[in-house]
Structure 1
Amino acid sequence: MEQGTGSNANPLSVDKTRVLDVKPLRCLSPVFPSQSEMSSLSTPQPSPFVCVPPTGPFPSGVSPIFPFVAPNETSQQTTSGVPLNSGRSTRPGRSAGADGLAVEDDGVHVNDVEDSSTGKKKGRPKKPKRSQQAAEFPRVEVDVEPLLNQLLTSFKLVELDQVKKADGDKEVVARILLVFDLFRRRMAQIDESRDTRPDLKASNMLRTKGIRTNQTKRIGNVPGVEVGDIFFFRMELCIVGLHAPTMSGIDYVSPKLTRDEEPLAVSIVSAGGYDDDGGDGDLLVYTGQGGVQRKDGKMFDQKLEGGNLALEKSVHRANEVRVIRGVKDVANPTGKIYIYDGLYKVQESWTEKSKSECNVFKYKLVRVPGQPEAFKVWKSIQQWKDGVASRVGVILPDLTSGAERQPVCLVNDVDDEKGPAYFTYIPTLKYSKPFIMPRPSPGCHCLDGCQSGDSNCPCIQRNEGFLPYSSLGVLMSYKTLIRECFSACSCPPDCRNRISQGGPKVRLEVFKTKNRGWGLRSLDPIRGGGFICEYAGEVIDVGNDKDDNYTFDATRIYEPLEAVHDYNDESRKVPFPLIISAKNGGNIARFMNHSCSPNVYWKLVVRESNNEAYFHIAFFAIRHIPPMQELTYDYGINKADRRRKQCLCGSLNCRRYFH
């Protein structure tokens, strides 16, 4: 463990007196290991990881890790929460966002429609009927206005001044996107049984309150948005000013805003709706809008108007155009991930016959040199996965020796060090004595898995009426403590209330950093609220963690930034003296470095057995994390430890030291 980047999120309260009913969502189910592999009482015993004796220097010592505890609560933990998503399959012709709810296929440039914020668009497919499974459970009615107001207040967005609305920065963009995602996820959890669009509702409510930034259309980069940033919803592009239209593939400034009264393109979204040629990452052949994409089956030639005309004028003016590329979301096959690939210039244009024998416009865009790589990184990763390109610096193809369902590569392309110091790889916790509960909890009888809205499910009751995860495995709960299904439950291993028991769902790798020893990153994109891994090791007694650089101490204090606490959550008042040592045996979490602006946070997960409780530390993404970005969390403060270590996270909010 040493140090990375990010921002934090926290829990909310809901007036449960206004809750009326709820229904579940037909969903895609993650795949987990067998029931025997998930027992809280047993720990898989993989072959130990033995590293080649390192030839380079070892990482310097780091203070123990700590969770998110509220100020002045030395032994009372308060975890900041980031919830999300809920998934379902959609019919052909539609795609789904990160929560799996059906949305218009963003790849199809429905360019005659500039704004779908009202949800009333010509040719829009009818919403599918609610599933019979959803009809079995009642709905929930929750007034979400106070929820949003609390988020806006907590993240200091209530009085967002006009300057920040016109021209944002990295901090403002991050706060707006975080509030949007937190709010959208909570609505997805509440309205899971309905065929609603929480992304649309969230963006509309934010817009109504004036919560958006970079409202003025501009040519070139958008303040606060970096090349390589990823988005799971078109609405996210809109509220930060990266691409204004919610459906159109071409955004442009009108003649009224240009000096010579010509429209100019400012951004395009290439998401597969037309026959675009993605090229090698520096070149894009983009197909114009309209004509062949009529939903009534009629086929017409494209016209040189609107966005097509703007792109044509951009050829002659040689202005820069922002390019957002859409790729398939492997975790949610009906959804897309949008990658900001930087600035391009429209080099030339022409017309050609489409497959339907209609005339279409083609535009050749060339990437402006000198920018960070974005889409190219995705292409390289895919080539590694497909085995068509070799990876530089690979030491071991699987550091876990098969202990995890997903192999974890060990990579060093920085120096000659051959690996970290010897340790035994174990994927979960080892308990010598679990926590004793006053009475045993009943297990569920959900043979098909726990279903949202089932008021008879004891596991849902223990989580105060809602499943904590979406069917895509994304955290939606604001509670400090997550209560998962356990050995007494009849639900299968792929039950959505066992998310942390199946190990990492994304491809992680341990890599050598330039100045912070070994670190952890992912080859796959991770959506906000997505599960990453748990912290594995041996549970030890308080006071036995001296001089151990690989320790997670749940009694440490973290002072959250603008925390959104759920003050109705009684579990936050319960002390959890959980200390884990991963010095001799642990998993990939032991390599996660510290950052004062992290992109990962942790929550307590409890799995029971009879009258015994087994607490686990589970890590989740605070925000959307692109591939190859280091995963970091805040180690917090140990006031009893006077030793200070220099912080090398490099973030704008760096505290310079950590304990």
Structure 2
Amino acid sequence: MASLIDLNLYPDPPNTATIAAACATTAATLITPKIEPKLEPLDQPLDVPPEPYPPSNSFLNPNPTFSQNPTPLPDPNLFPEVDQNNVYSEFHRISELFRTAFAKNMEKYDDIQATDPDSQAIVPVPEENQLSTVVVSSRRKYPARSSELVRVTNLGIQDERYFRDVVRKTRMIYDSLRVLVVMEDDKRRSFGIARCPRARGDLKAASVMKDRGLWLNRDKRIVGAIPGVHIGDVFFFRMELCVVGMHGQAQAGIDYLTSSQSSNGESIATSVIVSGGYEDDEDAGDVIVYTGHGGQDKNSRQVVHQKLEGGNLAMERSMHYGIEVRVIRGFRYEGSASGKVYVYDGLYKIVEAWFDVGKSGFGVFKFKLVRMENQSEMGSATLKFAANLRTRPLEVRPVGYVSFDISMNKEKAPVFLFNDIDGNHEPMYYDYLVTTVFPPFVYHLGGKAGGCNCFPGCSLDCFCAKKNGGEFAYDSNGLLVRGKPLIFECGPHCRCPPNCQNRVSQNGVRNKFEVFRSRETGWGVRSLDLIQAGSFICEYTGVVLTREQAQLFTMNGDSLVYPNRFGERWAEWGDLSQIFSDYVRPSYPAVPPLDFAMDVSRMRNLACYMSHSSCPNVLVQLVLYDHSNLAFPHLMLFAMENIPPLRELSLDYGASDEWMGKLSICN
């Protein structure tokens, strides 16, 4: 079982009653000071290389925090507008403040010698006091964040799966709710109802989830890794970081526990967002020089000296106690819903802090962060690697490529084949099939496919929209709004153009994919692009066989796929039952049992190489567009979450049924 450990900062902690009394007294008498946050500036573009990390004598100093020698003042000829006396005075004052900070408190609790970076005085939390990470409350007013610092340890495989599933479902609610908010706003505008600025779906979704008590990790303030969040996970919105408990500040770059909340009266930093918004920031990947907060104007220019308070003070205290911080990097990213992307890059230790004169001539606090060892590769590095791989694959990975397009130009985007493990080139031996091949009778028994007369584009009174229950299945960006038993897209008999909002899955692959050889799963599939939750991925193609044909093919040992076995993951996407008490799972239109199989023994596409997972990141959505036979829909695949580049795609292949037996394909 996972366990929560209390990060009590007293080396010789008093008893529980004393701590409770102290906390109660603090909460009653102290008022949280007004903090000037480090605001989130414009993110740096992804393709901008980090500035070279400069050599500094202070890095070699074993105890540089309280340096007696101030950094030389800027050249007055370069900064004529700066009052040098004031700069030196402020610099000297802050240096003195650093040397004497909290000395009385240290002596009071006899921890003046507690300089070991690993001395965290970790105390186990009693079993009866351990609380679940997920708190669901029916109250509209959600309680404030907890002031109890804990670290989650001893996660077993089952614990990892549980927390991952909790995070995945929470993010799914956030993404689907955000898409729904934007779509409803577009609907109102189409009817001329809405005249105010466009709805911020990210803010509205977060607000509604907070009211419903769906934000994670509010009952404990977690130090270190968040259970269920993996290094490399990608977020498109700052508010989503708040929802999962990664970073509790909607705008500030430093998240911390204030001194008024802390059990020993000292603030502690828990996470930072690094996006190069301060001119003195330096990012070399594993080593970061992070500039403290404060002193900037509305144009992100440093105009006054920074002070040792708020997040700056919390960073210094975290360094003193050796407490790690989570680092999230922000970038501009083309194709992102917000224009930005936030990537969790792992845990860093603050190993050095000092006061310096910044490039603008004002005093700033700097903190040197070093990435802890034995962690997965940084997600930001993977994003940059994938960006280079898309355009210069042989320069980035000169060994391993078998083909740069196994689809032979049949797909709109190439499908790479990569194997640096063995000499198996099996995917090259199959004909690539872009769309499913149905028997001729399918196009006749279902009746003639009627089309809409919308021109130049479809509206809500579209005939195809009415078949979907009076709404489009996708938003204006082509994202799936809600999973349904079946979706009707506009087809060849419709008058609307190819870029119609109701034509998404039939338009084919939009991302670059790579079929790769894996030691764990045999063959697998990963994208070279960042895929947003709700996006179309590809069709699961094959040659459709009837029940009788399937039984004959099975006797011959051919590879068959059985659509009725796939897990109904479509019902999870857009499931807002925790948001709306009257939510009903979509049941229209009703689909008869899928009584057919798909032969992939000779012709197939990239989807056949996706691995099985009980916690998949891809769902199967049934779609009709080129015929009206409900018993033979297309199997369209959509992303259930934000999928970073080079992360393996997975499906829920479900359980075998009585007559078709176990799934047998190349994996």
Q: Scaled by the length of structure 1, what TM-score is found? A: 0.67
In 2, Cα distance between equivalents of 1:415 and 1:280: 35
Change in Cα spacing, 1:351 to 1:506, as seen in structure 2 (3 Å) is: farther
In 2, Cα distance between equivalents of 1:191 and 1:637: 40
Once the two structures are superposed, what CA deviation does each residue of 1:575-630 show, in whole Å capped at 9, x if it has no partner? 44453322211210111122222221111111136999973211011222222221
2:312 is equivalent to residue 313 of structure 1: no
Change in Cα spacing, 1:171 to 1:536, as seen in structure 2 (3 Å) is: closer
Contact 2:352 2:368 in 1 (8 A): yes
Match of 2:560 in 1: 551
Residue 372 of structure 1 deviates from its aligned partner by 1.0
Match of 2:386 in 1: 381
Q: How does 1:49-64 map to 2 (within 5 A)?
A: none
Contact 1:521 1:627 in 2 (8 A): yes
Contact 2:570 2:621 in 1 (8 A): no
2:500 is equivalent to residue 491 of structure 1: no
In 1, Cα distance between equivalents of 2:166 and 2:566: 26
Q: Which has the higher contact order (CA 8 A, sep 6+)?
A: 1
2:421 is equivalent to residue 414 of structure 1: yes
Match of 2:599 in 1: 581
Match of 2:430 in 1: 423
In 1, Cα distance between equivalents of 2:548 and 2:291: 65
Give the SS at the match of 2:294: coil
Contact 2:592 2:630 in 1 (8 A): no
Match of 2:626 in 1: 608
Match of 1:15 in 2: none
Amino acid at match of 1:209: R
Amino acid at match of 1:554: P
Contact 2:447 2:628 in 1 (8 A): no
Q: How does 1:228-307 map to 2 (within 5 A)?
A: 228-258=232-262, 261-275=265-279, 279-294=283-298, 299-307=303-311
Amino acid at match of 1:552: V
In 1, Cα distance between equivalents of 2:406 and 2:414: 7
In 2, Cα distance between equivalents of 1:611 and 1:562: 22
In 2, Cα distance between equivalents of 1:384 and 1:276: 31
Match of 1:327 in 2: 331
Contact 2:136 2:212 in 1 (8 A): no
Match of 1:632 in 2: 650
Counterpart selection for 1:188 from 182, 188, 197: 182
Match of 1:530 in 2: 535
Structure number, greater radius of gyration: 2
Residue 324 of structure 1 deviates from its aligned partner by 0.7
Residue 248 of structure 1 deviates from its aligned partner by 0.8
In 2, Cα distance between equivalents of 1:487 and 1:386: 35
Q: How does 1:26-175 map to 2 (within 5 A)?
A: 106-108=40-42, 169-175=163-169
Q: How does 1:454-465 map to 2 (within 5 A)?
A: 454-465=459-470
Contact 1:606 1:613 in 2 (8 A): no
Amino acid at match of 2:274: S
Amino acid at match of 1:207: K
In 2, Cα distance between equivalents of 1:293 and 1:371: 37
Give the SS at the match of 1:543: helix
Residue 456 of structure 1 deviates from its aligned partner by 3.4
Amino acid at match of 1:487: P
In 2, Cα distance between equivalents of 1:405 and 1:560: 27
Change in Cα spacing, 1:300 to 1:459, as seen in structure 2 (3 Å) is: farther
Give the SS at the match of 2:298: coil
Once the two structures are superposed, what CA deviation does each residue of 1:371-394 show, in whole Å capped at 9, x if it has no partner? 111332223223323425235422
Once the two structures are superposed, what CA deviation does each residue of 1:107-151 show, in whole Å capped at 9, x if it has no partner? 459xxxxxxxxxxxxxxxxxxxxxxxxxxxxxxxxxxxxxxxxxx
2:558 is equivalent to residue 542 of structure 1: no
Change in Cα spacing, 1:366 to 1:638, as seen in structure 2 (3 Å) is: same
In 2, Cα distance between equivalents of 1:636 and 1:404: 28
Residue 175 of structure 1 deviates from its aligned partner by 2.9
Give the SS at the match of 1:251: strand
Contact 2:272 2:327 in 1 (8 A): yes
Counterpart selection for 1:571 from 580, 589, 592: 589
Mind listing any 5+ residue stretches in structure 1 that lack a counterpart?
1-103, 110-154, 650-659
Amino acid at match of 2:472: L
Q: Percent identity?
A: 35
Amino acid at match of 1:541: T
In 1, Cα distance between equivalents of 2:41 and 2:467: 41
Once the two structures are superposed, what CA deviation does each residue of 1:312-337 show, in whole Å capped at 9, x if it has no partner? 33344332110011223322374222
Q: Scaled by the length of structure 2, what TM-score is found? A: 0.66
Give the SS at the match of 1:572: coil
Q: Which deviates the most, 621-630 or 290-299?
A: 290-299
Give the SS at the match of 1:325: strand
Count of paired positions: 496
Match of 2:439 in 1: 432
Match of 1:443 in 2: 452
Q: How does 1:492-531 map to 2 (within 5 A)?
A: 492-531=497-536
Change in Cα spacing, 1:513 to 1:461, as seen in structure 2 (3 Å) is: same
Amino acid at match of 2:174: F
Give the SS at the match of 1:497: coil
Change in Cα spacing, 1:335 to 1:419, as seen in structure 2 (3 Å) is: same
Amino acid at match of 2:548: G
Change in Cα spacing, 1:635 to 1:105, as seen in structure 2 (3 Å) is: farther
Q: Which deviates the most, 408-417 or 458-467?
A: 458-467
Contact 1:106 1:234 in 2 (8 A): no
Amino acid at match of 2:614: C
Give the SS at the match of 1:184: helix
In 1, Cα distance between equivalents of 2:613 and 2:664: 11
Residue 295 of structure 1 deviates from its aligned partner by 5.1
Once the two structures are superposed, what CA deviation does each residue of 1:33-91 show, in whole Å capped at 9, x if it has no partner? xxxxxxxxxxxxxxxxxxxxxxxxxxxxxxxxxxxxxxxxxxxxxxxxxxxxxxxxxxx
Amino acid at match of 1:600: V
Q: Which deviates the most, 500-509 or 295-304?
A: 295-304
Give the SS at the match of 2:564: coil
Counterpart selection for 2:617 from 599, 602, 613: 599
Q: How does 1:191-210 map to 2 (within 5 A)?
A: 191-192=185-186, 193=189, 195-210=198-213
Change in Cα spacing, 1:606 to 1:295, as seen in structure 2 (3 Å) is: same
Q: Which deviates the most, 177-186 or 292-301?
A: 292-301
Residue 499 of structure 1 deviates from its aligned partner by 1.4
2:170 is equivalent to residue 176 of structure 1: yes
Q: Which deviates the most, 337-346 or 534-543?
A: 534-543
Change in Cα spacing, 1:499 to 1:156, as seen in structure 2 (3 Å) is: farther
Match of 2:608 in 1: 590
Give the SS at the match of 2:311: helix
Contact 1:107 1:326 in 2 (8 A): no
Residue 221 of structure 1 deviates from its aligned partner by 1.6
In 2, Cα distance between equivalents of 1:495 and 1:276: 47
Residue 476 of structure 1 deviates from its aligned partner by 0.6
